[in-house]
């Protein structure tokens, strides 16, 4: 099993969710986050005063899939979330040692 963590632009969330559902992803966790990388934030004007926004809003997706599906999920997220502008995000893939569905007691691949 693989854990795929993706940080994407918030307005791309629904489009990415639909694309992942269409390839068979059955669930994901979504968290609103803030971060910075190459984008490094920007300046905004609020009530006439200019101030720096050092952290940019993003959405973090966490998806656990069978190892055989991981490459397809990464490719789907990458192509769907891409805007060709700075700040499109990052995707990380990690190994998952075990999984347990609390309600049924199913483990590992059966739990996802």
Whole-angstrom distance, CA of residue 45 vs CA of residue 53? 10
Give 28-39 pLDDT, tens digit per residue: 999 999 887 776
**C-beta separation of 111 from 28 below 8 A:** no
Structural domains counted in the chain: 1
Residue 92 sits in a domain whose CATH number is 3.30.70.120
Q: What is the pTM of this model?
A: 0.85
Q: 89 lies in which domain range?
A: 2-110
Give 62-89 pLDDT, tens digit per residue: 999 999 999 999 999 999 999 998 889 9
């Amino acid at each position: 099993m693989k854990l795929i963590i993706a940080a994407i632009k918030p307005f791309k969330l629904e489009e990415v969710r639909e694309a992942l559902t269409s390839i068979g992803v059955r669930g994901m966790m979504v968290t609103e986050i803030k971060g910075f990388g190459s984008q490094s934030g920007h300046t905004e004007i609020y009530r006439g005063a200019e101030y720096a926004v050092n952290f940019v809003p993003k959405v973090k997706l966490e998806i656990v899939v069978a190892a055989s599906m991981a490459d397809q999920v990464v490719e789907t997220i990458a192509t769907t979330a891409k805007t060709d502008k700075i700040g499109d995000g990052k995707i990380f893939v990690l190994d998952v040692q075990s999984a347990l569905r609390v309600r049924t007691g199913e483990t590992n691949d059966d739990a996802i």
